[in-house]
Chain A
Amino acid sequence: MQEFMLFIKTKGDHLENLSPEEQQAHVQKIGKYIGNLMQSGKLKGAQPLEMGGAIIHGKQGNIKDGPFNESKEVIVGYFHLVAQDLNEAIEIAKANPVFENEEATIEIRPIKQMDGIN
């Protein structure tokens, strides 16, 4: 077993253009998706992120505040998973209902394992 972080990225707020009915349907779908993950013991955590916040960039002594490119994809939430391997994590990510409404990106990154301190 290995742990993974899945970063969900969309162009702007992906729920913004949905009608209230569509939003509700989406919430239900994601609820079911998350519920299944939870029951199979694969979910360690999942949280949506607020649209605001800040980006800072640069090098010590020369850090600039963002935003830098507004049209770029933003992270709208994350999933923390436990999966057999990267393939399983990919399969789980592909089933995410976020793909049903519009273009989205999910970045799947294994969490670096620490074997203990020698």
Chain B
Amino acid sequence: MSKSKIEISDKINNLFRHEYGKLVSVLTKTFGTSNIELAEDVVQDAMLEAIKQWEFKGVPNNPTGWIYKVAKNKAVNIVNREKYKRNYTTEVAHFLQSEWTVEPSLNHIFTEKEIVDDQLRMIFTCCHPSISSDSQIALTLKTLCGFSVTEIAKAFLTNEQNITKRLVRARKVIKDLDVSFEVPTGKDLENRLQSVLETIYLLFNEGYNSINDNKLIRFELCEEAIRLTEIIAQNSNIQKKSTVYALLSLMTLNASRFEARIDAANNLIDLQNQDREKWNKELLNKGLLYLELSTQQKEISRYHILATISAHYCTARDFNSTDWQNILSLYNNLIQIDNSPIIMLNRAIVISKVEGVKAALRELNGIKDKTIFNNYLPYYTTLAEFHFQNNEKETAKKILNKALELPLGSSSNLILKNILKKY
């Protein structure tokens, strides 16, 4: 593809990002999961053709309908032209090959309900547990969210080659395992849903916690994670949704603080210093609603607890009226399910509010496996802050200076230097 073509396709992908995801999902059902790339190519082609036409004739009244029509025609042509070259095993492809069934079949697969169901099937396909999580995320962003390779590379602060490799690997696993385009049922569903939610939460955190300077892309990752989870929540094929709503609540509540927690120079502002007027009320209310929905089934996951903690932060009138006591007991519940070092670190911060900084330091130093903290900025800033509050200014400075020697990246170094100035 030429450079200008790529630019145009980036443009149109932005405009029709979600339509792209819908079409790729429907066409993956049509061609089979081993032909995901073909589905992507067909949709990409349809969009390029749209651009070409519209440049001369202007944008039609119903541009989306236009793109759908082109994509439909291309799909029919491909299953008929390459009838014997590729092996299309799907029922849909079979129907598209007969004069009698082609029209009814197209009408059927492009109904609103089918499209929504196919997106869900696509989510489960992309987040198949046999695919590594970074490949899962890349494939999800590429197929369901209409991100270009360039955009994904930007979001993950890596190069395009790397992302292309991840995509190739993901598609290969799907092909090799002949992953079916289905939402699993029964016991299988529970396990698979858990791993899907994990991937989505990773995607969200990529946006929420990354040190990427591109705030726009970061927020988009958060939005996409929420949108994908909403697709799951709205689908009637999945009955037990308590965990889905809990994750949705956690993400929307956190996202409501997105704007307020980053300053103009892209530095992280801690909760205490955030301008609460900047919190997004709409997202906040949505998050509280989802939290309520998540309690309708007797089930508790780490997302439930994390969402409740986030709700406590979001609903406190100001920082000083935060209900630290309650938050601490929630953390105590949480470590029964998940006592990973990062959770323990966050719990220590809450302990510093409830029991004082000495207890918090004891807690933090008591964490056994600290290897994960090696390149984890919040560990150093928290540890330094505890010592600072404990009137050990020199120790605090020493910790920050030590952190400055680590390969944490320039944004992190800036944060460290700013704190050092304060001490």
The residues of A with any CB-CB pair to B shorter than 8 Å are 30-32, 34-35, 38-39, 43-48, 77
Contact = CB atoms under 8 A, between A and B. Distances in A.
A39 B107 CA distance: 10
B2 to A, nearest CB: 41
A35 B107 contact: yes
B101 A45 contact: yes
Interface residues of B, number: 12
Interface of B: 91, 94-95, 98-101, 103-105, 107-108
A43 B107 CA distance: 15
- Top 8 nearest A-B pairs (CB, nearest first) are A35-B104, A47-B98, A34-B104, A46-B100, A31-B103, A31-B104, A46-B101, A38-B108
Contacts of B100: 30, 34, 46-48, 77
B38 to A, nearest CB: 22
Contacts of B94: 45
B37 to A, nearest CB: 27
27 contacts: A30-B100, A31-B103, A31-B104, A32-B104, A34-B100, A34-B101, A34-B104, A35-B103, A35-B107, A35-B108, A38-B95, A38-B104, A38-B105, A39-B108, A43-B95, A43-B101, A45-B95, A45-B98, A46-B100, A46-B101, A47-B98, A47-B99, A47-B100, A47-B101, A48-B98, A48-B100, A77-B100
A43 B105 CA distance: 11
Contacts of B108: 35, 38-39
A22 B47 CA distance: 37
Contacts of A35: 103-104, 107-108
Dominant SS among interface residues on chain B: helix
Contacts of B103: 31, 35
A38 B102 CA distance: 11
Nearest to B97: A47
Contacts of A34: 100-101, 104
A28 B95 CA distance: 17
A43 B104 CA distance: 11
A14 to B, nearest CB: 13
B104 A48 contact: no
Contact of B99 (A38, A44, A45, A48): A48
Nearest to A79: B100
A31 B106 CA distance: 11
A45 B101 CA distance: 8
B113 to A, nearest CB: 10
Contacts of B99: 47-48
Contacts of B101: 34, 38, 43, 45-47
B101 to A, nearest CB: 5
A72 B94 CA distance: 31
B284 to A, nearest CB: 41
Nearest to A35: B104
Contacts of A77: 100
A34 B95 CA distance: 11
